[in-house]
C-alpha cells in the first residue's frame, strides 16, 4: 500500500529496543525500512535501550535522534538512569508515562511536525500487574486529549502494559478519538493488528528489538533458574544473534486523523555480531 503524500502520512512505531542488540539492529535497518515503506515519521520505545537493558541515557537519545527517531517513548524503566532526569526536564522528544505524578521530571505528551502536519504522541503506563498506584490511564488520556485536540487530530498512544485486557480496554475507550494505540512492555509481538470500528489503528503489543533466542531480550538461563527456584538472579542482556526487530506502520488520513491501514514489521537478522 503506497502513501499519497498529499493526503496521507505513514508513521512507523517500533517496540522496546533492548540493549546493544536492539540498538544494533535498529541502526542497521532503520534507513532501509524508512525508504522501503516510505515512512514519514518514527516513534520508538527506548526504555530498555541501556547496555544493561534498563533505562535510557542521553547518549542513547542522541543515537535515536541521529538515526531518525522523531519521538522516543518509555515505560516503567524510565527512572533507571538518573542522568536522564535533566534531559527529561529540558526536552520533549523523550516521554515518560503521563500518569506518573506531575512532580516527576519530564512530560507524557508531545508533538512533532511533518511538513505542515502536527503529530501528537501520548505515553501512558498500565496498572494491572504493574504499578497499581499510578493515576488512571483512562482519565489521563482524557485530560491529554483535551489539550492535544486543540493542536492536531493525528494522535498516537504508546500504552506500556502487561495485561492484554487493559490494553484493549483503553483502545476501545479511545477508538475514534486518536489515530493509533500500540502496546509495549511484553516484548512479544501480537498478531491482532487492526483498525477498530471508529477508525483507530491498534495492536496489543509491538514486540521488541533484541536477541531472538532470549527471554524479553535477556539471557535465558538465569530467568529459567528464577522461575524454577524463585531465587533472585541478575538479568543480563543477550548479545548472541540472530537479532529481531518488530513494530508496525500506520497510514493516517491527514484530514480526518483516522487510521487507514496498519501493518506489522518483523525483521530477523542473522549477520549482526556483537561478541
Catalytic residues: 77
Of 94, 170, 84, give the one whose Cα is nearest residue 127: 170
- Other residues' Cβ atoms within 10 Å of the Cβ of residue 8: 19
Among all chains, which residue has been given the C-alpha cell 536477541?
211
Left if phi > 0, otherwise alpha if psi is -120 to 50, otherwise beta: which for 39?
beta
The x, y and z cell numbers of residue 113, run together, are 511536525
Cα four-point dihedral sign 77, 130, 123, 259: positive
Q: How far apart are CA 73 and CA 56, in angstroms?
A: 10
CA 210 to chain centre: 14
The CA angle 96-161-241, to the nearest 5 degrees, is 90
Please name which of 220, 202, 224, 201 lies closest in space to residue 210, comparing C-alpha atoms: 220
For the record, the C-alpha cell of 106 comes out as 519530564
Q: Tell me how far apart the alpha carbons of residues 222 and 148 are, in angstroms, rounded to a whole number.
A: 44
- In the structure grid, which three cell numbers stand for residue 104, read together? 516527576
Cell 511538513 -> residue: 115
Q: Phi/psi at 97 (nearest 5 deg)? A: -55, 130
The CA distance from 168 to 182, in Å, is 10
Amino acid at each position: 500500500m503506497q502513501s499519497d503524500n498529499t493526503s496521507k502520512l505513514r508513521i512507523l512505531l517500533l517496540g522496546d529496543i533492548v540493549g546493544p542488540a536492539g540498538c544494533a539492529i535498529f541502526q542497521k535497518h532503520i534507513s532501509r525500512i524508512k525508504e522501503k515503506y516510505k515512512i514519514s515519521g518514527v516513534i520508538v520505545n527506548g526504555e530498555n535501550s541501556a547496555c544493561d537493558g534498563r533505562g535510557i541515557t542521553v547518549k542513547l537519545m542522541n543515537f535515536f535522534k541521529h538515526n531518525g527517531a522523531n519521538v522516543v517513548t518509555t515505560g516503567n524503566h524510565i527512572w533507571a538512569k538518573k542522568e536522564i532526569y535533566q534531559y527529561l526536564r529540558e526536552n520533549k522528544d523523550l516521554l515518560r508515562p503521563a500518569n506518573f505524578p506531575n512532580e516527576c521530571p519530564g512530560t507524557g505528551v508531545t508533538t512533532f511536525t511533518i511538513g505542515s502536519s502536527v503529530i501528537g504522541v501520548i505515553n501512558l503506563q498500565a496498572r494491572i500487574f504493574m504499578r497499581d498506584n499510578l493515576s488512571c490511564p483512562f482519565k489521563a488520556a482524557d485530560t491529554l486529549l483535551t489539550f492535544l485536540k486543540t493542536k492536531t487530530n493525528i494522535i498516537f498512544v504508546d500504552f506500556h502494559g502487561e495485561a492484554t485486557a487493559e490494553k484493549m480496554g483503553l483502545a476501545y475507550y479511545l477508538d475514534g478519538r486518536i489515530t493509533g494505540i500500540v502496546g509495549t512492555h511484553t516484548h512479544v509481538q501480537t498478531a491482532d493488528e487492526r483498525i477498530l470500528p471508529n477508525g483507530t489503528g491498534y495492536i496489543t503489543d509491538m514486540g521488541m528489538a533484541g536477541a531472538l533466542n532470549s527471554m524479553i531480550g535477556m539471557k535465558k538461563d538465569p530467568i529459567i533458574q528464577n522461575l524454577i527456584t524463585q531465587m533472585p538472579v541478575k538479568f543480563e542482556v543477550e548479545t548472541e544473534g540472530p537479532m529481531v526487530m518488530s513494530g508496525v506502520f500506520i497510514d493516517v488520513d491527514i484530514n480526518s486523523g483516522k487510521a487507514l491501514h496498519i501493518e506489522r514489521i518483523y525483521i530477523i537478522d542473522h549477520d549482526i555480531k556483537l561478541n
